[in-house]
Every structure is written in structure tokens, then in C-alpha cells.
């Protein structure tokens, strides 16, 4: 798969570096440095684009400038791209309304587009979190999401000591956070690992927005942290001890009250 990543600054560079280091051998990753400043409305996209860009199958927009979204339809035409992933880790870079417009523009061109919010909510079938989960169906985006998107792990645990001996990353967050968390949790007690993964996620540090997102009513960084914790919990589920608290005076229907004294 040929990928063209649109990057502006450190956010995009971190993602691209992780993909280049860990992607399948047959992936080709090229980058284009976006303008750092664009007008509020881009009337003539060609004024801000190079004369040519490398051919690609998938455009990955990691831009930190809102107007770059208005350039993407022209970039898709220039490169022959058939799919676009334009994650929303900060609504200042890609507002939800503009993401909807982008989807419409590209749909008319026959180009698939998803805007996962946050980026690490993308799976092979869905994007977004909580009640905003949305299905999609595109083979190129699905192939990308096999490797990058919502974190997923496979755990190995020492049952005698109840510690993690290995946490294999089966799908990394595109920024590399899942690999970082997996390394940090090696040797950690199972019962402490879920909360520890949330702290490790923040220490990476996550680059999602710390402002309250109006759609979720929470920060995208917090949503991202919960996705990480949920992934660790799912991997450790066979070894977790579930503790029950019995309220004082509670008697089950099949118990004799005298047995609870």
C-alpha cells in the first residue's frame, strides 16, 4: 500500500516515524509538508500545492492547520488516491463540520473517507467511541486499521505471581503509544495494570486535545486514555480477579438468614 502523509509539525512526524519503523514491508510511506498558514477559506487550492505529488493509494492527513482539509480533494486527484483517513485529535485542526464537508467532497470523487475522533478509535469496522461509534467499509482503510488505530493486545501472564510477562501489541495506536504502554507494563501485577496503562498513556504523552470536546463532553485525551485502558483490560480479562462487595444485611434469595451471621 502506498501512503501519502500530510504533516505540519511534531504531531504528524511522530505518527509517520512510528509507521515507517513498524509498518508491513510492502508499505510505501511518502510525506508532504503542508503550509503552516492558510486563509480562512481556500478559494484556489492550486496556489498552495506543489506541481506534483507522489502517486498513492491512501492519504493520511496529519495536518495541524484547518485549511489543509480543503486541499485534500485536489491532492486526491493529483495522486490517484482512493481513500483518505483524516483523524480528529484536535477540533482546531479539523472541525467536525469541515470533516463532514470533506467526506461529501470526496464521496463525489469516488474516494472513501473516514475521520476517526480520536484517531485511536479506528478499527477494521468502526470509528469513534462510546455512543458515536460509526461503521465504515473500505478495503484500504480496513488494511491500515489492521495495524494502526484502536490499541489491541495479547497478554502472557505468570499465573503463580499474577504478573504480566509479555504484552504483545496486535494493533498499535498510530502514534506508537500502545507499544510504549506494552513495554511499561512488562512485569506489572495484573490487578494494577489497567490503571497503570492510563498513566503510561498520559506520560507518553498523548497528543490528543486537552480541551473539552462538545460531542463527547470530555477531553479527547481522556477518551483516548480510556480506549487504552479498555484494550489492556480486554487482554487481561482471563486473569483478572473480580471482587464482590456484599452490603451489610444483604441476604440472597436462596440463603438462610442464619447462615450469614
State residue 247's pLDDT score: 66
| pLDDT tens-digit map of 140-153 | 999 999 999 999 99
**Strands lying side by side in the sheet with 28-33:** 28-33, 2-7, 58-62, 83-85, 112-114
Write the DSSP assignment of 135-152 as a string of letters: E---HHHHHHHHHBSS-E
- Contacts within 8 Å (CB) and 24+ apart, 230-234: 231/150, 231/151, 231/152, 231/153, 231/178, 232/153, 232/167, 232/181, 232/185, 232/193, 232/194, 232/197, 233/194, 234/152, 234/153
Q: H or E segment at 10? A: helix 10-22
* Predicted confidence (pLDDT) at residue 3 exceeds the cutoff of 90: yes
Q: If you count DSSP H runs as helices and E runs as strands, how many of each does the chain have, helices first?
A: 7, 11
Task: Give 199-238 pLDDT, tens digit per residue.
Answer: 999 999 999 999 999 999 999 999 999 999 999 999 999 9
What whole-number distance in Å separates Cα of residue 95 and Cα of residue 86? 11
209 three-class SS = coil
pLDDT at 11 over 80: yes
Query: What mean pLDDT comes out for the span 29-58?
Result: 94
Asked whether 14 and 22 are in contact (CB, 8 A), the reply is no
**Cβ-contact 165, 181 below 8 angstroms:** no
3-state secondary structure of 7: strand
In this predicted structure, what is the pLDDT of residue 8?
97
- Tell me: pLDDT of 255 over 60: no
Over 80: is that where the pLDDT of 103 sits?
Answer: yes
**φ and ψ at 119, to 5 degrees?**
-55, -40
Task: Please identify which residue in the block is written with the cell numbers 480506549.
Answer: 227
Give CA torsion, residues 97, 103, 105, 107, to 10 deg. Answer: -150
Confidence of residue 253 (pLDDT cuts 50, 70, 90): low
Domains and CATH numbers, the chain: 2-115 (3.40.50), 152-239 (3.90.1010)
Q: Is the distance from CB of 73 to CB of 105 less than 8 angstroms?
A: yes
Amino acid at each position: 500500500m502506498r501512503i501519502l502523509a500530510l504533516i505540519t509539525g511534531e504531531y504528524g512526524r511522530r505518527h509517520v516515524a512510528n509507521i515507517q519503523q513498524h509498518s508491513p514491508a510492502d508499505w510505501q510511506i511518502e510525506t508532504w509538508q503542508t503550509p503552516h498558514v492558510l486563509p480562512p477559506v481556500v478559494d484556489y487550492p492550486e496556489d498552495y500545492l506543489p506541481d506534483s505529488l507522489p502517486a498513492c493509494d491512501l492519504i493520511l492527513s496529519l495536518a495541524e492547520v484547518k485549511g489543509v482539509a480543503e486541499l485534500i480533494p485536489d491532492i486526491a486527484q493529483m495522486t490517484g488516491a482512493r481513500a483518505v483517513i483524516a483523524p480528529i485529535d484536535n477540533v482546531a485542526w479539523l472541525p467536525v463540520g469541515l470533516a463532514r464537508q470533506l467526506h461529501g467532497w470526496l464521496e463525489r470523487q469516488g474516494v472513501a473517507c473516514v475521520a476517526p475522533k480520536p484517531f485511536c478509535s479506528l478499527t477494521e469496522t468502526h470509528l469513534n467511541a462510546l455512543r458515536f461509534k460509526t461503521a465504515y467499509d473500505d478495503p484500504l482503510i480496513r488494511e491500515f486499521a489492521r495495524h494502526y488505530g484502536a490499541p489491541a493486545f495479547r497478554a502472557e501472564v505468570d499465573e503463580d505471581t499474577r504478573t504480566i510477562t509479555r504484552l504483545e501489541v496486535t494493533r498499535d495506536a498510530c502514534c506508537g503509544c500502545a507499544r510504549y504502554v506494552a513495554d511499561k507494563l512488562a512485569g506489572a501485577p495484573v490487578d494494577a495494570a489497567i490503571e497503570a496503562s492510563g498513566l503510561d498513556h498520559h506520560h507518553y504523552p498523548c497528543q490528543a486535545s486537552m480541551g473539552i470536546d462538545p460531542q463527547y463532553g470530555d477531553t479527547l485525551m481522556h477518551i483516548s486514555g480510556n480506549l487504552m485502558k479498555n484494550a489492556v483490560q480486554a487482554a487481561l480479562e482471563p486473569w483478572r480477579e473480580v471482587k464482590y462487595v456484599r452490603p451489610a444485611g444483604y441476604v440472597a434469595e436462596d440463603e438462610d438468614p442464619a447462615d450469614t451471621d
